[in-house]
Structure 1
């Protein structure tokens, strides 16, 4: 592991912790991560710049669709652009599968915690959810917010560990 990889993982870990604690990804940290990524690509002579740029753009535009649907925050979109730039197009699909899987596992844990802390029975939550989907008049005001940066960190680490 080289110096820029260590810096990348350190900055990515700091972003994941920040998002888990405050539900916010600092722009300065994402910018630092992007500078580390660009330095890594320059220093280690990556010849396929177009592959990395296309990976970043694909990750950005796919996550932008989720942002428009209000399923993802703006910080997550910027973070996924940098991760796509780091990975390149050829590794993006495999890493995305691990990131999505990690997001699902983390989402299940957050859902269980949310239901346990809500003080409302499981049956009532399920009925309210289905009633909300059927009736446009009913509004379920409590939203479950799940930070996505920890899923990116865990998914990317799993991808690198297993490949």
Structure 2
């Protein structure tokens, strides 16, 4: 290792980089309703670098989002990226989430590793559901959203003629980077307030 950082300093550096990148994605998603591939690649690359230059602790539960911070190395970073991608990929295939959101989750996974990526994704999904409910009520489209949910689920029932196209029938589109930022923040607060991860391996 040519570059040494104390665990606390490394964690502060890594978390700062991750938060800035996710907030930048949020700004793009709010303004343009998309997350650029360049930003996704930058996030993925930054996650790999952060876990390459950090103190290698190699203990269970270590990582960026840990009370015992330590880098997980290139292998752990890549596994985190693949895990983040795999967790959100089904939502993209169901057309419930954009490709940029899925790729950004892979970038987040490269920072935090596979176990934390699953935990962050769970918090993001809860945050996304809560924000969607608030937005649904706020814009007054509760009936249309519920109709779309029933139609979307109904198309998977054998013999059903219901078809749902999110591109043309969606009641509203929430910038999902907002849920990603909120979920990441919530999971960080959960861990650093002394709670154990929901999933750990």
Higher helix share: 1
Aligned to 2:185: 157
Given candidates 20, 27, 30, the residue that maps to 2:40 is 30
Structure 1 position 47, deviation (Å): 4.4
Distance 2:122 2:84 in 1: 12
1:14-163 map, 5 Å: 14-45=24-55, 46-115=71-140, 125=144, 129=148, 132=151, 133=154, 136=161, 142-143=169-170, 144-163=172-191
- Tell me the CA shift for residue 153 of structure 1: 0.8
Q: 1:14 Cα shift?
A: 1.2
Gaps of 5+ in 2: 1-10, 56-70, 192-201
RMSD: 2.8
Alpha carbons 2:18, 2:108 under 8 Å: kept: no
Q: TM-score, normalised by structure 2?
A: 0.66
Partner Cα separation in structure 2 for residue 93 and residue 99 of structure 1: 10
Give the drift of 1:107. Answer: 0.9
The CA distance in 1 between the partners of 2:98 and 2:79, in whole Å, is 22
Contact preservation (8 Å) 2:136, 2:145: no
Q: Tell me how far 1:3 sits from its aligned partner.
A: 2.9
Q: Which runs of 5+ in 1 are unaligned?
A: 117-121
Deviations 1:46-72 (A, max 9, x none): 245433322211221232222111111
CA contact (8 A) 2:87 2:118 kept: no
